[in-house]
Structure 1
């Protein structure tokens, strides 16, 4: 064992252990809390930040304990804890680089995960809507500003945002879902869970810990924003919007705010002090993406092609709209079912119908056809039809 490892192991018994209670300030479950790790990693040399942040997020997604994380990286629990807390020092008290084998294994795991992610992404379909959402996220992140994404439910907003998070989740992209929030304390608890900080502490302690765990390198994706602007009393909305503004201002992070059109109506048509507050937030947004009220032709085309179905190409000198598709290809077999799903159901239902159509085609031992898709939709229609008694 090297002198460095001897130095760090000598005090391992005084470190917190894997059995440390979850409600202590430095712990979340059986691993270190997000704000503690964020501060600790920043004490290391910059060239190690990305790898260490990535592995911490990775271990959280896999629900790994400190012992499991350390074992995977080939180091003992004390060394793992010290590196992530910025306390891996020599006898003179100087911070040492993480053990070489620890860094090497992280990089190997990252490469393996990258390859696995490419395989997973192949199961996703890049649509015009997803492409626009990703472009907004990249622009906002690069400029460290605020961006907005608005659109009706079921047009692919959340899927697009989560896809971006999955491709950029090396400790820098933080996804926060505001469904169910009822007050400013819920805002910070929701952020705490996303940051792997225990939410079971007093609000006065939780707020600074959340702020400490985010910095200017982060992109914060705030989904379901309309739950603040519409679903709850406006007195609480003021405090919740101010909480988001504080997180943005105090940390310097980039922020993408996503909402249904209900939320946009509050920005455009709201009155009183609440509306003024929202308009302040609105004016700070450099990019405002408004999505169509239904699935675009291009979105449905992308899914159809991914499932091996024929679909008319986009017109070269006209808009790619349902109106033009009807005019130019009135005999296209998949036209009516595609347009109906686009306007009445949305992307998840479209995928379900394609998958069910695949099952029908599989029973006939052939490739998927539009008549299989039509048959699959007919089954859903039969289920939802009113029945005589």
Structure 2
């Protein structure tokens, strides 16, 4: 666990370089703590069946391993980080503060309950949530017993954790540790903050953090695409703000000299088009999947290129574009670009398969992608365009509204 398979601790300079190391989270009891009343608050549309979603996720992980990818697990890294950093109490204090977990004065009892758990059980319990029924009467001396509250949790579950792409994302040799847009997910990036700070694999490496989770405006990893060593794309979406993108660009231009352009792509702000990677992913040097509904007439979109400001390092120079193909050709220095439409461009098929993440592909090498098997039309179209498609079962995984790219945080890729 403590020895990197790749030569670099963090290294992601493209979306398609051969994937060497990735971080996943195997869905746990947190998905069983979903109830119909909590679905909207916890950002789910349905309740996955735990045994099957775990089986499907294990197939996903084994598929990556079979391709030579080192798979790390968020839950294990977090457990080791707290152990090596002697940071268990600090982590619990910060988590409880951010959870606002003081229902009927429960915070002290909850802290005592959590700190009594061994490291692995602590992380698992925090992820799955703490029900009010789990705190026994002996620990409830801090509670106001004359008050009642029908809410079933002292600590909410985190069912979105298996989408490891969003709380943090690697760009170059550093990463963003993100402020999540939705309150239900905001605590998720705390795990990565402690992993980078205390885990032996990362703690001594002086890893640059391009954007911290305490910045006021949200950015999420599903909107961050590393197009090349010098250009990243970020979606202006329902979950990522223009202010967050601008701050990230300023920080990148101040702290490193490899990334020179940030391409901000505006997409419709809706549940169906949650992040840029739900409607647009890179699958080869000159090929991209796309959901056609994000484009206007003649392929027009609102696109902004952010570059270093010549006079003021705290600002960015911004120029505008309207055509995605022409913009990609420009920033990637290509003669031509192919956009592969989700569902083959058929209005009904595209809408159905995009809802099940037909455009959310995980490239594990140039022209080699992992996808959901349920999106058979989109998969066929990609194969017709010369893409090697490895599909995985997805009946339960897809209920969370995220695909293989959403479920993975690449840590090391080969440079192109």
TM-score by length of 1: 0.26
Question: Which structure has the greater CA radius of gyration?
Answer: 1
TM-score by length of 2: 0.25
Higher share of residues assigned helix: 1
Q: Which has the higher contact order (CA 8 A, sep 6+)?
A: 2
